[in-house]
């Protein structure tokens, strides 16, 4: 018994000595030395802030079919909600919101910010806006007027302080956007030639009197 035990012990010690020499050499050889990763993903430094901003209380536990789409659009900074973690899921999309969303999708948010700054610089001291929520869409509306999405008269209506006193047909920035308007604005911003006389165009963009939900 003892002899068998010592034989096994001797074999074990021998294997340990051999492995102590061999393993460092084996481990030093890169297994995939020439293989390059197909994709490399880097985490965002502000990831926690992004996740916090899209944690909308009226979406999180709502069970809405649009939850994933809302989170994706918010993470891409296309939609921003109303602040205080409220998305406004059941609200109509207003004209100014629709224009802003389209320009953000087109990667033009910086252009809108510069346009808003230029507008405020040009204003008289007494007319300057210091409350951010009151001017968040000014740059988008200025771009829309410059690029033919809306007319100069529409822009004047939009910048009117007394929106409720404007007459029928006026451009009310907070009025619900119409499908046909949005279809036209998308075509202008993305450079798509609209076929306004075509039934195919109407069907594709859902043109009709219904408002965007």
Q: What is the pTM of this model?
A: 0.66
Report the 10 Å Cβ neighbour count for 58: 17
Q: What's the pLDDT at 106?
A: 94
Average pLDDT, the chain: 77
Q: What's the pLDDT at 120?
A: 79
Q: Which band of pLDDT confidence, cut at 50, 70 and 90, is reported for residue 196?
A: low
* H or E element in which residue 133 lies: none
- Ramachandran region, residue 50 (left: φ > 0; alpha: ψ -120 to 50; beta: rest): alpha
Q: Which residue has the higher pLDDT, 212 or 61?
A: 61
Tokens read off for 186 = 């998308």
Comparing 16-20, 71-75, 96-100, 115-119, the range with the smallest average pLDDT is: 16-20
pLDDT exceeds 80 at position 46? no
pLDDT exceeds 60 at position 5? no
pLDDT exceeds 60 at position 131? no
- Mean pLDDT of the region 147-158: 94
pLDDT exceeds 60 at position 202? no
Q: What's the pLDDT at 193?
A: 77
- Mean pLDDT of the region 176-205: 75
Q: Residue ranges per domain, the chain?
A: 45-91, 92-192
Q: Exposed e or buried b for every residue in 137-176, given b needs 16+ CB within 10 A?
A: bbbbbbbbbeeebbeeebbebbbeeeeeeeeeeebbbeeb
Tokens read off for 156 = 């004047």
Q: What's the pLDDT at 40?
A: 78
pLDDT exceeds 80 at position 43? no
- Judged on CB neighbours under 10 Å (0-12, 13-18, 19+), 53 is middle
For tokens 């920035």, name the residue: 173
Q: Is 39 helix (H, G, I), strand (E, B) or coil?
A: coil
- Give the span between the Cα atoms of 144 and 110, in whole angstroms: 14
For tokens 């609209």, name the residue: 194
Is the distance from CB of 139 to CB of 145 less than 8 angstroms?
Answer: no
Q: What's the pLDDT at 4?
A: 62
């Amino acid at each position: 018994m003892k002899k068998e035990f010592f034989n096994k012990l001797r074999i074990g010690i021998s294997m340990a000595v051999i492995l102590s020499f061999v393993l460092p050499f084996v481990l030093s050889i890169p297994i995939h030395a020439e293989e390059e990763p197909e994709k490399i993903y880097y985490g965002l430094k502000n990831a926690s802030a992004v996740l916090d901003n899209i944690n909308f209380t009226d979406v999180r536990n709502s069970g809405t079919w649009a939850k994933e789409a809302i989170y994706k659009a918010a993470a891409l900074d296309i939609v921003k909600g109303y602040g205080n973690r409220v998305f406004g899921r059941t609200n109509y999309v207003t004209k100014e919101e629709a224009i802003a969303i389209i320009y953000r999708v087109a990667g033009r948010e910086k252009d809108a910010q510069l346009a808003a700054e230029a507008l405020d610089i040009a204003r008289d001291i007494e007319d300057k806006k210091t409350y951010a929520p009151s001017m968040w869409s000014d740059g988008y509306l200025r771009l829309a007027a410059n690029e033919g999405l809306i007319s100069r008269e529409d822009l004047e209506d939009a910048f009117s302080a007394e929106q409720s006193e404007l007459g029928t047909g006026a451009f009310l920035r907070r009025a619900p956007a119409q499908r046909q308007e949005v279809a036209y604005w998308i075509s202008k911003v993305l450079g798509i030639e609209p076929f306004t006389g075509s039934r195919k165009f109407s069907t594709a963009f859902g043109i009709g009197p219904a408002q965007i939900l």
